[in-house]
Amino acid sequence: MLSLEEHARRFATRAHAAQDQRRKYTNDPYIIHPAAVVEQVRLVLPEDEPALAAAWLHDTVEDTDTTLADIESHFGPEVARLVEMLTNPPTPEEMNRAQRKRLHFQHTAHACSRAQTIKLADIIDNTRELLHFDPDFARVYLLEKRLQLDSMTLGDARLRQQAQQLVEQGITQLMRPPYNVPAAWFDKRATHYLAPQA
């Protein structure tokens, strides 16, 4: 009989492959990203099989035809709840990127410590080589991750420190040649993500 984690690995592999989903910059099969997230989570939650299963499944509801009901049917309510905390809620089409991200940050901020730990691992893997592949997008993404990390207080402290270091190192690099993004750009852009004052 398959373990819960192995079942999740196979399910996620099939779900992402069915969409022919690939990593944006390398064209690798998408499943290498959940696999990397799982290995980060395993370092800090080695015996938490529901969390490891959720790490495999964390992008299935957002990026494939899988629903949360499917997750609960296959893996039970505990895994489904973790995946729900890792799935960005739907937002109105008229919202701009900053408004959508603000809602996503609020959603993550209310996630439990296990879900935030998985999210930290997700940020680590997504941040590692982004500057190399796409410096223009990196400045937006890294700023967003800085803001999101500020609101995530419950995840594993070691992974949070690693994620924060990667984000801050990336922003520091962007402020140096050859990118030369002014510090003021990050400060001004950050205000777009603040909730409007009543």
The catalytically annotated residue of 6, 47, 49, 62 is 62
What Å distances lie between residue 193 and 94, 112, 167, CA to CA?
Answer: 16, 23, 17
Is residue 49 part of the annotated active site? The answer reads no
Q: What's the DSSP call for residue 4? A: H
Tokens coding 163: 């994620």
The catalytically annotated residue of 6, 49, 63, 134 is 63
Could you give the CA distance from residue 79 to residue 64 in angstroms, rounded to a whole number? 17
Name the β-bridge partners of 29. 22
* 103 contacts 91 by C-beta, under 8 angstroms: yes
Tokens coding 142: 């890294």
Is residue 63 part of the annotated active site? The answer reads yes
Give catalytic residues, as residue numbers: 62-63
